[in-house]
Structure 1
Amino acid sequence: MPSLENCFTPFKTDISGISIPEKFTFPIFYEPHELSLIATRELQEYLEQPQNWQHNFWNEKTGAGEAAGKMFGVLVVQNEKGELGYLSAFSGQIDGTMDIHPFVPAAYVEDFDKSYCDGQFKEFTKLSHQVTTLEQTPEYITALNHLQKLKEEALILLETQRKKHKLQSRELKAQLKQSSKTLDEQELKQLKALQHQQHLNQKFLYREYEIYLLEKQQPFQVIVDQYQSQMEALTTQRRQQSLDLQDWIFKQYDLLNANGERKNVLEIFNELNLGAPPASTGDCAAPKLLQYAFAKALKPIALAEFWWGKSSKSQIRKHKQFYPACRSKCEPILGHMLQGLDVEDNPLLINPGLNKTMEVIYEDEAIIIVNKPEEFLSVPGKTIKDSVYSRLKELYPDATGPILVHRLDMSTSGILVATKNLEYYHFIQEQFINRTISKRYVALLSGVLENNEGMIELPLRVDLDNRPTQLVCYEYGKSARTKYQVLERREKETLVHFYPITGRTHQLRVHAAHASGLNAPIVGDDLYGTATNRLHLHAEFIKFIHPITHKAVSFKAPAPF
């Protein structure tokens, strides 16, 4: 392992007139400080220069592997002389290494025994090779082929036998029905006994035939079981050794905080009862930067992370766009590493609905229609209780409801439907389930669309590393469909109607922003685009069957943008 070399980069830009922030950046939700913006610009100028890296950030045709962007970070720091500069880092590896000057090195201990890891990986390769060798053994392949063939034949033969017995049973029933007209009671009783015995004989013969076919398979089954038992044992051994190595690696990430205290990744996750840390925890830019700063007695001032290059096919990442630290890997360990620093308040704990007005636009004995403001919860959250639901409870303290039939994202404004009891709730909820509800949203998109209308079909699932954001995933994602129609084209923006066919989390936001969707994020989308004064997405119209009149009713709340 190379020692911690000097990665402190002085500012090229004159920053003498810029004040140092009073508190350090809250890394999960932030607006970059001016110093972070300058450091980012200088780093990006460096990245635009030719480098000796083979990593392909952009074009799949460069011959350097499939294009893949990467998260970079800057940490503005102050050295012991009081001088300001910044540190740079990238998440993960570039060209198979974490140690590329002037970027800070990996966050694991200086005496990290890479040879131990290499030895373990060689052992994994050896075990995998042994499994492959067993899979390719002629005796195993021959036995497996014979066994599969006999099983397929047995299925056909047994199905033929079942059909034969079924036909015989029908004939016996028909015979019994016909004979019941001419036979006396004793003769009919004897015939029923005979037919019952024939049915038992059929079941016995079928079972005997089944055993006979299994016995034909048995010699091959024994050979296959022997080989597969060996393969399973080797695979289990490899899996356990891999888990042991992962734990060992996590213990090598002995992370510092501003108080000089150390905890490894495994300790942090165990203390928080979070289970096993995700793979590569500790390799993101933010923990690398803080670890280096604390180890070199540099005072952290401000942090920012941005994406550089092409987005992955599942995520939505924009070149040069700032992004917060990830939730699953970074949030737990940054909770430890930031101890001792005066950090900005967590804006996610501040009630965004404070002083916002919630308008009830319609009410009768069954339903309540609300026009929800933007940045206001539909239902109470873990820490913030103020919401549409809680305010409706205050407005209608004597009602058995109100019960929200559906929800809107906190950032989305517009129409919400509530009912005054459970019976009416189920009546309208069924319409949502059956997709007979008509809904329409208005959205302002960042970009000018070419087509006037169309359908977006991109399956979605939650990003397990960064909840609540969503990924496009064709393997595990749920079907998500959105119809759109252009209303107006502006200089750099497009106003559209969205008609969601399904109702997945963040569906409209992802379908708008993703490269395989409209490739035009909703203006103000802080998750999939660029934050502004608000998310320009509004639930404008809804139509459904009323639970009492059983007639169609519709409601509209014009978009406030």
Structure 2
Amino acid sequence: MITNSPNIITYFSQALIKGIALPEKFTFPFFYEPHELTKIAVEELQCYLESQTDLDHNFGLKENQNGIVIGKMFGVLVVKDAEGKLGYLSAFSGKLADSNNHEKFVPPVFDMLMEDSFFLKEQYILNDINKQVIDIEEDESYLKLKKDYENLTTKSLQEIDAFKKQLKINKDDRKKQRKEQKSILSEQEYADLEAYLIRYSLHDKHQFNLVVNKWQQQLDDIKSELSIYEENIEALKKERREKSAALQQQLFENYVFLNKDKQEKSLYAIFSDTVFGKPPAAAGECATPKLLQYAFLHGHTPIAMAEFWWGAPPKSEIRKHKQFYPACTGKCKPILEHMLQGIELEQNPFLDNPGQDKKLEVVYEDDSFIVVNKPSGLLSVPGIAVQDSVYTRLQYLFGNIEPLIIHRLDMATSGLLVVAKTKEAHKDIQRQFIKRTVNKRYTALLSKVIEQEGGEITLPLRGDLDNRPSQLVCFEFGKKAVTHWKTIERKEDTTKVHFWPHTGRTHQLRMHAAHELGLNAPIVGDDLYGTASDRLYLHAAHLEFVHPVSKEALSFDVEEDF
């Protein structure tokens, strides 16, 4: 734990903050509207980032700059110092310009890169093991043996295959002789022929075994020499795995986090009771834990926090330059739950029910199913904290009939939802969804003007394990996701479009709209991939499927109210 760094608080100009009231409670870090004080702090920090020349880091904002483009998450923490003066601390996630320490920013919770650290010493040992492995793998004698073994294997297979073909010819010839001679030869002559053919067959098998054994012996001889090298390689790799695991464990124990009462808890202890069981990669390196750690170490009182992205976005995630973002859930939530103990937080908005007073409109109903117009803010099915949903409301409406959910809409999305009333209808309509014969059309309002008239987006998607429920574009492990779209209307700074999703991935339309390889225009009100507003401007406007009983083609439309 780093304790001896200088005080790097930046104090506010009194003229700038005059008349701004302090928040009554600390920021709920996973969903927040930045406080005015954090906005001022962020503006000052962003001005510094725009004008600074100290950091040799390529954020991807300048042309022809050397180095790999790496955008960064930055954070500010508004604090009161021990004397009651108001200021803010600044931090970045991970490393910046290949270093953990920079004058304007708080230090890491644990600096694994500091001189003579156990990490660097162990890393040196691991690097030496890596070099030994590479030296063996690139050894000329080893490579020659591998090549000889490969060539000999190919040659042996060719000869054995040719021998098998000859054996097949010989066998067919013996069969032919038996057939032709049976009616010509006497019984004794045929018996003599049969004995000869059997000896011939045994001779072939013996010769085949000799060939196989010959090649196997030669291969075994080379394999024996190869095994000396390969056993050394495997022993080194095993040693590397064991040392890496031990080093990782030591790191987990050295990342020790405080809370306001100076209670300590290691990274390992924090994550041991989570579903992860152990810390994910880079846990403890995010901005907000670093900021709180520094504040607690130096007697500062946390007032409010905010994080923002600076630079070009990563290829998989959706990150917009200068935009505010919440703390991540996978890596930060368990840590912050410890660090924020005893600090009164703003209301967790995930406990609110924004759909509570909104009406669920019935569009169509018969004995098999019901089609409803779900308002934005109402869950499709009950959540952990909020039970009110389309499902629970239909339970009340149906009485003794159990609503059978076929598909869902995000809580923030409005529009058409079909729910079955019988198992037969559920099975039939669900099959139509699986076979993708259901025609769905959504209307969305995008946050900028799109010049294209329409097209197809095919960005594969997967869940972000470190930041649920967010999704990632992933060309290696993502699932196929296809969306067709068409521009409907353009205004001064927005575009209304129609979306036709041909797959049903989580947040598919929101990701395809927001990602730079998609439309690069988040849907208005998208608090995950864009900027929050009064609602998410995404509406399921059209739904077509075949009636499960009458087999009649059905079509339903509910126009968006934006």
Give 1:350 shift: 2.3
Instruction: State the match for 1:143 in structure 2.
Output: 145
Instruction: State the match for 1:188 in structure 2.
Output: none
Looking at structure 2, the residues matched to 378 and 108 of structure 1 have their Cα atoms a distance apart, in angstroms, of: 44
> Structure 2 vs 1, CA of residues 166 and 411 (structure 1 numbering), >3 Å: closer, same or farther?
farther
Instruction: State the match for 1:478 in structure 2.
Output: 479
Query: Is residue 112–residue 120 contact of structure 2 (8 Å, CA) maintained in 1?
Result: no
- Partner deviation per Cα, 1:390-421 (whole Å, 9 max, x = no partner): 2222222322x421111112211111122123
Q: In terms of mean alpha carbon deviation, does 45-54 or 450-459 score higher? A: 45-54
Q: In terms of mean alpha carbon deviation, does 344-353 or 111-120 score higher? A: 111-120
Residues 5-24 of structure 1 mapped to structure 2, 5 A cutoff: 5-12=6-13, 13-24=15-26
Matched, 1:57 2:59: yes
Instruction: State the match for 1:469 in structure 2.
Output: 470
Instruction: State the match for 1:545 in structure 2.
Output: 546
Q: In terms of mean alpha carbon deviation, does 245-254 or 445-454 score higher? A: 245-254
> Structure 2 vs 1, CA of residues 152 and 60 (structure 1 numbering), >3 Å: closer, same or farther?
farther
Query: Is residue 57–residue 96 contact of structure 2 (8 Å, CA) maintained in 1?
Result: yes
Give 1:18 shift: 0.8
Gaps of 5+ in 1: 178-194
Instruction: State the match for 1:412 in structure 2.
Output: 413
Identify the match of residue 379 of structure 1 among 378, 381, 386.
381
Instruction: State the match for 1:181 in structure 2.
Output: none
Query: Is residue 60–residue 66 contact of structure 1 (8 Å, CA) maintained in 2?
Result: no
Looking at structure 1, the residues matched to 399 and 202 of structure 2 have their Cα atoms a distance apart, in angstroms, of: 67
Give 1:139 shift: 2.3
Looking at structure 2, the residues matched to 148 and 175 of structure 1 have their Cα atoms a distance apart, in angstroms, of: 41
Looking at structure 1, the residues matched to 404 and 204 of structure 2 have their Cα atoms a distance apart, in angstroms, of: 59
Query: Is residue 374–residue 414 contact of structure 2 (8 Å, CA) maintained in 1?
Result: yes
- Partner deviation per Cα, 1:125-180 (whole Å, 9 max, x = no partner): 10100110111112221222233334445666677788889999999999999xxx
Matched, 1:229 2:231: yes
Query: Is residue 36–residue 302 contact of structure 1 (8 Å, CA) maintained in 2?
Result: yes
Give 1:382 shift: 2.6
Identify the match of residue 280 of structure 1 among 279, 282, 293.
282
Q: In terms of mean alpha carbon deviation, does 318-327 or 461-470 score higher? A: 461-470
Query: Is residue 100–residue 111 contact of structure 2 (8 Å, CA) maintained in 1?
Result: no
Identity %: 48
Looking at structure 2, the residues matched to 453 and 391 of structure 1 have their Cα atoms a distance apart, in angstroms, of: 38
Instruction: State the match for 1:189 in structure 2.
Output: none
> Structure 2 vs 1, CA of residues 11 and 402 (structure 1 numbering), >3 Å: closer, same or farther?
same
- Partner deviation per Cα, 1:324-375 (whole Å, 9 max, x = no partner): 0011111000000001111112211223332222222111121211211112
Q: In terms of mean alpha carbon deviation, does 240-249 or 323-332 score higher? A: 240-249
Gaps of 5+ in 2: 180-196
SS of 1:355's equivalent in the other structure is coil
Q: In terms of mean alpha carbon deviation, does 79-88 or 389-398 score higher? A: 389-398
Larger Rg: 2
> Structure 2 vs 1, CA of residues 528 and 208 (structure 1 numbering), >3 Å: closer, same or farther?
farther
Residues 92-491 of structure 1 mapped to structure 2, 5 A cutoff: 92-108=94-110, 114-152=116-154, 214-272=216-274, 274-399=276-401, 401-491=402-492
Q: In terms of mean alpha carbon deviation, does 322-331 or 237-246 score higher? A: 237-246
The alignment yields a C-alpha RMSD, in angstroms, of 3.5
Looking at structure 2, the residues matched to 527 and 269 of structure 1 have their Cα atoms a distance apart, in angstroms, of: 25
Task: Count residues in correspondence.
Answer: 552
Looking at structure 2, the residues matched to 447 and 136 of structure 1 have their Cα atoms a distance apart, in angstroms, of: 55
Give 1:525 shift: 0.6
Identify the match of residue 79 of structure 1 among 55, 78, 81.
81
Query: Is residue 269–residue 276 contact of structure 1 (8 Å, CA) maintained in 2?
Result: yes
Query: Is residue 3–residue 110 contact of structure 1 (8 Å, CA) maintained in 2?
Result: no
Q: Taking structure 2 as the reference length, what is the TM-score of the superposition?
A: 0.89
Give 1:270 shift: 1.4
Looking at structure 2, the residues matched to 297 and 540 of structure 1 have their Cα atoms a distance apart, in angstroms, of: 55
Query: Is residue 29–residue 326 contact of structure 2 (8 Å, CA) maintained in 1?
Result: yes
User: What amino acid does structure 1 have at the position aligned with 2:476?
Assistant: E
Instruction: State the match for 1:536 in structure 2.
Output: 537
Looking at structure 2, the residues matched to 490 and 150 of structure 1 have their Cα atoms a distance apart, in angstroms, of: 72
Q: In terms of mean alpha carbon deviation, does 60-69 or 421-430 score higher? A: 60-69
Give 1:266 shift: 0.9
SS of 1:14's equivalent in the other structure is helix
> Structure 2 vs 1, CA of residues 205 and 353 (structure 1 numbering), >3 Å: closer, same or farther?
farther
> Structure 2 vs 1, CA of residues 169 and 439 (structure 1 numbering), >3 Å: closer, same or farther?
farther
> Structure 2 vs 1, CA of residues 430 and 259 (structure 1 numbering), >3 Å: closer, same or farther?
same
Instruction: State the match for 2:494 in structure 1.
Output: 493
Matched, 1:555 2:535: no
